[in-house]
Amino acid sequence: MAEEEDAFWLLNGIVRMIPRLFSTDVSCLLGGRISVLRNEMTAFKAILRENLPRICDKLRILGLPVDYLIYGSLTSFYASSFSSDVVLRLWDLLIFNLANRDKVAKKRALWYMMAPAYWILRERQTAILEARNVQQVIDLY
């Protein structure tokens, strides 16, 4: 950002947009009645089911929706899972793609938000499968 004021207004826009990502009333991209992130979460679950079925089964057995894990990480934007340089790079990708006028780029930004969740689940798969209760899984994630 060349100007401090430009950075302020960009941050203001992101902060105002984030609650709409989780809303079932308003879509940040389409203005419809269903949140875009909700659609992306459905696709994410299908990808997870296809590639990490044992994780899906374990979470189901424990009664822990994958949404709960993902939304918790999104609210902190993975700050507890990654080093600051990775988190800042994720922010860069998110801001760049959301600032783009192209709807495909905006969709890509949503996947930049979701991809780290998949990586965390894949990397911690063994420990998650060995967890005996919901709290252990939450602590691992």
Q: How many CB atoms lie within 10 A of CB 22?
A: 15
Would you list the domain boundaries of the chain?
36-140
Please, which pLDDT band fits residue 27 given cuts at 50, 70 and 90? very low
Give the pLDDT confidence score for residue 99 in this predicted structure: 75
**68 or 16, which is more confident?**
68
78-97 per-position pLDDT tens digit: 888 888 888 888 888 887 88
Is residue 140 packed enough to be buried (19+ CB in 10 Å), middle (13-18) or exposed (0-12)?
Answer: middle
Asked whether residue 24 carries a pLDDT value surpassing 80, the answer given is: no
Q: How many CB atoms lie within 10 A of CB 68?
A: 14
What is the value of pTM for the model shown? 0.69
Residues 6+ apart with CB under 8 A from 80: 73
